[in-house]
Structure 1
């Protein structure tokens, strides 16, 4: 009887604690240089970065980008700046961002959607997001969508 009771209890414990249960990815708030610091037309900024992205963690790194008319004092105790360039095949109307934290790994995924138009220009646009300060060992990946 004791063995049966232990086996049943163990079964309930295993079922109750199955990995991944109630694990839901979490959407995090992000902001931008436009919203926080009043910068304008940043997607057309000619920053000194090749296609791809960088994680900017302090003011010195930000100033080295030569961001043009946008030169705010960013609160890097609160934010990291993800910034990069992306070559498009048609004109761009806008860029949308979503930041998701993976519930199992705690790593971040920045989803960037380029909303296109029919113009023949093929811009190399600058994108950026001010994200919550990354924790030590936490990584971020970027997913692009052209719509």
Structure 2
């Protein structure tokens, strides 16, 4: 009976020790999910782009999530075309058509995480510029790297002029 208990104790100890080990590439100190705002950055801030509002998207104006450099190279053209750190970020990008004052328009972003349903929402608030030209404005945010199946809902609001 003592040998059975010793064997069981050894198995439990082995199981407990092996379940604590991390596999290569995994994060060791996982943080619990916290709902609320999440910081985002931009191509302008991270890569010094000065013309990111003029990026052309082959997919059209609807927002897309670009998850790799190859996908970025294939779907986006324009003067702003850096080598993005896609191990750290995903690029959420879309276009607002017929944006008054496209050259002087501006965007602000609010990115929220909701842990209860694992949803992510990027709210884009566009402020038209002072000129009367009708241009396409490209909005974008570099968000923390998403999982392969994770998505971001994009809500765009254009303020009155």
Alignment TM-score, normalising by the size of structure 2: 0.70
RMSD: 2.0
Deviations along 1:7-61, one digit per CA (max 9) or x if unpaired, are: xxxxxxxxxxxxxxxxx84100101111111111211233323111111111100
Q: How far apart, CA to CA, are the structure 2 residues paired with 1:88 and 1:103?
A: 35
Deviations along 1:80-137, one digit per CA (max 9) or x if unpaired, are: 1111111135224201111001131121000001111343222111111100111243
Q: How far apart, CA to CA, are the structure 2 residues paired with 1:113 and 1:87?
A: 14
Among candidates 105, 109, 124, match of residue 97 of structure 1: 109
Runs of 4+ in 1 over 4 A off after TM superposition: none
Among candidates 47, 52, 76, match of residue 57 of structure 2: 47
Q: What SS is found at the alignment partner of 1:60?
A: helix
Q: State whether structure 2 residue 121 is matched by structure 1 residue 109.
A: yes
Query: May I ask how many residue pairs the two structures share in their alignment?
Result: 125
Aligned to 1:78: 88
Aligned to 1:143: 155
Residues 54 and 138, structure 2, Cα contact 8 Å, conserved in 1 = yes
Q: How far apart, CA to CA, are the structure 2 residues paired with 1:71 and 1:94?
A: 20
Q: How far apart, CA to CA, are the structure 2 residues paired with 1:90 and 1:68?
A: 20
Aligned to 1:15: none
Q: State whether structure 2 residue 149 is matched by structure 1 residue 133.
A: no
Distance 1:133-1:104 versus aligned 2 partners, 3 A rule? same
Higher Cα radius of gyration? 2
Q: How far apart, CA to CA, are the structure 2 residues paired with 1:58 and 1:89?
A: 28
Q: What 5-or-longer segments of structure 2 have no aligned partner?
A: 1-33
